[in-house]
Amino acid sequence: MSLQSRVEGLRARIQRACERADRDPASIELLPVSKKQPLALIREAAALGFTRFGENYVQEGADKAAATPGLSFVLLGPLQRNKARPALQSFAAIQSLDRPELAGRLRHLAEELDVVRPVWIQVDLWDEATKLGGCTEAALPALLDALGGDTRLPLQGLMAIPPPEEAGAFAQLAALRERLQQELGLPLRLSMGMSGDLEEAIAAGSDQIRIGTAFFGERLY
């Protein structure tokens, strides 16, 4: 199946999911996850109108960003403090902020580098952090305090990778988003849902779905 055919299939699923949920399909961002995918396929996706791509590894994403200056990449994978500088230099946004010490390091470097980078907090409500990273609900106040409303690191939303067997996970995330929006007085986006559950995620209020192999095809390892 061609890349264009896969994209058309995904867009049709998004359209149907939005019709059922009474939502505007234009409000849902389809973020292609391009880790381990060749530049040729990324450029092919760009020709179809995609300009933002998700990457899991700092070095791989940095290399791709350098090779495709007209595109932007967002970091989805766990970020170590010692890779915070290249992450800020190469990525348009960081969606895996998950601990206060990382927030402090990013604030210091953003000021030093004189850059503005939107951040998303990766949340973990299901004790999955040891495998996938993420900030527990109990730890969120400390992380928000460390972020401190820094204008160089504007908080854009919440990202999560809920376990597939967790019933009601999307509803829990939507409720957390609503609570934080009221507490912070900020509009926050939700990044949740992948190829197997994008319909449920859209019904629960997701603003961004992250699609890898269902978009690009099998990865090259």
pLDDT in tens, 23-73: 999 999 999 999 999 999 999 999 999 999 999 999 999 999 999 999 999
- Which domains, and CATH codes, for the chain? 3-216 (3.20.20.10)
Reported as a pLDDT band with limits 50, 70 and 90, residue 131 is low
> What gap in Å lies between CA 78 and CA 96, rounded to an integer?
6
pLDDT at 17 over 80: yes
Q: Which residue has the tokens 């690191």?
A: 153
